[in-house]
């Protein structure tokens, strides 16, 4: 049986409800989170890559696929390619006037995303969380949050394997009287704080909630706040990494000081 990928499922939901902004946002979120295989003109030279460009529908496009097998099926012969996250592909192409041809002709999620859509995705992903410090005076159970946000957080945190042990979602009242909702991570891997905060911000943005906000914090197990969160908060367990991590290497084309060649 042919595999249905998360991108296929999100695309089908978007196609089934063309007027549903939330379904469209979820598709773009899955695209950003997916590992994509980008067709190249030649083998990468270090971090330098040269994507193959195609003129389709009166615009230039690069070809990406969410499975290696789909790329092979489309091309029909061994070809050079680079594996990049969707967010890195969007960042690489932003402002270049180049669109994304996704799973072209080989999957139900086949779609052409014009350059404007790529620029929008890159800009949306570039809106990072804002930092703030305030004393917390009260922790309560979360209330009044839409189910779509809870689902979006659960889905997003499932992609953050190994970055933290768990997170609690709770209502909080700060020293200045302000009330908000807080997502607090426990057992965060050193250096993962920014990635986790951005993941939460993306879950909020792509859930389609207008003017929404969600504070993010990191707590140590010995802190009194951790006990209050465990007692009152909604817990999310992040997946563990079950195999040793490979030494990380910058993805080709992801260094702004060493950009890919686009022709």
- 68 and 146 together in one domain: no
Could you tell me the residue range of the domain that residue 88 belongs to?
6-125
- 39 and 120 together in one domain: yes
Q: Within a domain: residue 41?
A: yes
Q: Within a domain: residue 255?
A: no
Cα-based torsion angle of the residue sequence 77, 81, 85, 87 in order, rounded to the nearest 10 degrees:
-110
Inform me whether the pLDDT recorded for 251 exceeds 70.
no
Confidence tier at 250 by pLDDT (50, 70, 90): very low
Report residue 36 CA to chain centroid gap: 12
Distant-in-sequence, close-in-space partners of 75: CB < 8 Å, separation ≥ 6: 39
For 33, the enclosing helix (H) or strand (E) is: helix 21-33
Predicted TM-score (pTM) of the model is: 0.70
Q: Work out whether strand 215-219 and strand 179-186 pair parallel, antiparallel, or are unpaired.
A: parallel
Q: Which two tokens stand for residue 167?
A: 């997170």
- Render pLDDT for 54-80 as a digit per residue (tens, 0 to 9): 998 788 999 999 999 999 999 998 899
Q: Which two tokens stand for residue 120?
A: 């929008």
Helices (H), 55-210: 68-75, 86-93, 115-125, 147-157, 193-206
Q: Where are the beta strands (DSSP E) in the chain?
A: 35-39, 53-56, 59-65, 81-85, 98-102, 111-113, 136-140, 166-174, 179-186, 215-219, 234-237
Number of Cβ atoms within 10 Å of the Cβ of 109:
26
Q: Within a domain: residue 131?
A: no
> Which residue, chain included where needed, has tokens 């939330």?
22
Higher pLDDT, 248 or 155: 155
Q: Within a domain: residue 208?
A: yes
Return the ∠ at Cα 92 (arms to 53 and 11), rounded to 5°. 75
- Render pLDDT for 159-194 as a digit per residue (tens, 0 to 9): 889 999 999 999 999 988 888 899 999 999 999 998
By the 8 A CB rule, do 206 and 26 touch? Answer: yes
Distant-in-sequence, close-in-space partners of 257: CB < 8 Å, separation ≥ 6: none
Whole-number mean pLDDT of the chain? 86
Please state the domain count of the chain: 2
- 112 and 200 together in one domain: no
- 154 and 51 together in one domain: no
- Render pLDDT for 14-24 as a digit per residue (tens, 0 to 9): 999 998 888 89
Please count the CA atoms within 13 angstroms of the CA of 33 that sit on its side-chain side: 25
């Amino acid at each position: 049986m042919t595999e249905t990928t998360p991108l296929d499922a999100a695309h089908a939901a978007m196609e089934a409800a063309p007027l549903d902004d939330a379904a469209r946002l979820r598709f773009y979120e899955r695209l950003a989170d997916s590992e994509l295989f980008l067709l190249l003109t030649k083998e990468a030279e270090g971090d330098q890559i040269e994507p193959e460009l195609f003129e389709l529908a009166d615009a230039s496009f690069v070809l990406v696929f969410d499975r290696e097998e789909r790329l092979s099926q489309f091309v029909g012969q061994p070809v050079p390619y680079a594996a990049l996250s969707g967010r890195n592909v969007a960042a690489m192409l932003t402002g270049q006037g180049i669109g994304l041809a996704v799973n072209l002709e080989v999957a139900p999620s086949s779609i052409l995303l014009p350059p404007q859509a790529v620029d929008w995705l890159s800009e949306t992903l570039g809106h990072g969380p804002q930092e703030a410090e305030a004393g917390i005076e009260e922790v309560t159970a979360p209330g009044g949050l839409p189910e779509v946000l809870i689902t979006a957080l659960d889905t997003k945190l499932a992609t953050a394997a190994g970055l933290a042990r768990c997170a609690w979602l709770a209502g909080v009242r700060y020293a200045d009287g302000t009330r908000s909702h807080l997502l607090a991570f426990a057992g965060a891997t050193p250096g993962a704080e920014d990635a986790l905060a951005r993941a939460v911000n993306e879950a909020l943005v792509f859930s389609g909630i207008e003017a929404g906000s969600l504070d993010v914090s990191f707590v140590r197990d010995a802190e009194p706040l951790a006990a209050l969160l465990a007692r009152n908060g909604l817990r999310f367990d992040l997946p563990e990494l079950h195999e040793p991590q490979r030494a990380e290497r910058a993805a080709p084309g992801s260094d702004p000081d060493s950009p890919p060649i686009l022709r």
